[in-house]
């Protein structure tokens, strides 16, 4: 026979769940407002009211606008990683493995999710742009975001070199920076003028140019260099 739940413990758990739900809701609201109006114009008061709470609740939970923006950065990056992995499973012609195929899958996920989740993508690019323009105080938050992204690409490039599918004379760090810049520039162009070109088609062109520039033209069906 199971013992009844401790009322104090149950209440504490309920309060923790309510707090988590409220914080997630306010972070989602902040992302929407940043995408629409920019980070510089974001206020904790607006986040509270737009979330359906009191104007003071965001300040109670996040203490400052900078801390809220830090949570937004982390939320966007963590969410992108999870969605990118799922995208790679369902939108790639071959099985994804570390190396060149993972780089290609990430390019497809980046441009694909920019179309599928335009609000989150716009918010991410607004934060990045404002970190070197209207809100330089965002740079300490943006730098780790950049570093992790470049590190991911650099690691995949090294895997590709070790497997013989990427040329050995490629500089992993330099190409990692270039890939991140390419993706951000491409999506930024689409955000400015979404009808100017087909984003996913242009992403496929980027993959083709990349593969021809650094790869050894590995046949997709074998996964081994020719010869």
Per-residue pLDDT reduced to its tens digit, 58-76: 999 999 999 999 999 889 8
Q: Are 91 and 202 in contact (CB under 8 A)?
A: no
Q: Are 44 and 58 in contact (CB under 8 A)?
A: yes
| Percent of the chain predicted with pLDDT > 70 | 89
166: phi then psi, degrees, rounded to nearest 5:
-125, 140
Structural domains of the chain, with CATH: 65-214 (1.10.357.10)
Tell me the pLDDT band of 48, cut-offs 50, 70 and 90. Answer: very high
Query: What is the rounded distance in angstroms from the CA atom of residue 125 to the CA atom of residue 197?
Result: 19
Cα 98 from chain centre? 19
| Percent of the chain predicted with pLDDT > 90 | 70
At which residue do the structure tokens 């209440």 appear?
11
Cα–Cα–Cα angle for 112, 115, 116, nearest 5°?
85
pLDDT recorded at residue 14: 82
pLDDT recorded at residue 4: 52
Q: Which residues of 79-111 are buried (b: 16+ CB within 10 A; e: fewer)?
A: ebeebbeebbeeeeeeebeebbbbbbbbbbbbb
| Residue with more model confidence, 155 or 227 | 155
220: phi then psi, degrees, rounded to nearest 5:
-60, -30
pLDDT tens-place string over residues 77-134 = 888 888 888 887 788 767 889 999 999 999 999 999 998 888 999 999 999 999 999 9
Q: Which long-range contacts (CB under 8 A, 24 or more apart) does 193-198 make?
A: none
């Amino acid at each position: 026979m199971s013992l009844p739940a401790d009322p104090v413990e149950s209440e504490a758990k309920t309060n923790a769940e309510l707090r988590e739900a409220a914080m997630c809701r306010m972070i989602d609201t902040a992302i929407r407002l940043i995408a629409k109006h920019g980070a510089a114009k974001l206020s904790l008061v607006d986040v509270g009211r737009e979330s359906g709470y009191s104007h003071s609740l965001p300040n109670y939970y996040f203490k400052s606008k900078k801390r809220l923006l830090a949570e937004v950065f982390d939320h966007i990056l963590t969410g992108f990683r999870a969605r990118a992995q799922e995208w790679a499973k369902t939108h790639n012609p071959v099985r994804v493995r570390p190396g060149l195929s993972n780089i290609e899958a990430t390019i497809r996920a980046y441009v694909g999710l920019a179309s599928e989740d335009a609000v989150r993508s716009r918010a991410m690019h607004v934060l990045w742009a404002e970190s070197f323009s209207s809100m330089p105080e965002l740079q300490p938050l943006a730098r780790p975001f950049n570093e992790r992204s470049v590190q991911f690409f650099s690691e995949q490039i090294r895997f590709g070199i070790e497997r013989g599918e990427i040329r050995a004379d490629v500089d992993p760090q330099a190409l990692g920076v270039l890939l991140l810049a390419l993706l951000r520039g491409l999506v930024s162009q689409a955000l400015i003028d979404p009808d100017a070109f087909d984003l996913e088609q242009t992403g496929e062109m980027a993959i083709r140019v990349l593969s021809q520039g650094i790869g050894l033209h590995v046949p997709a069906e074998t996964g081994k260099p020719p010869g």
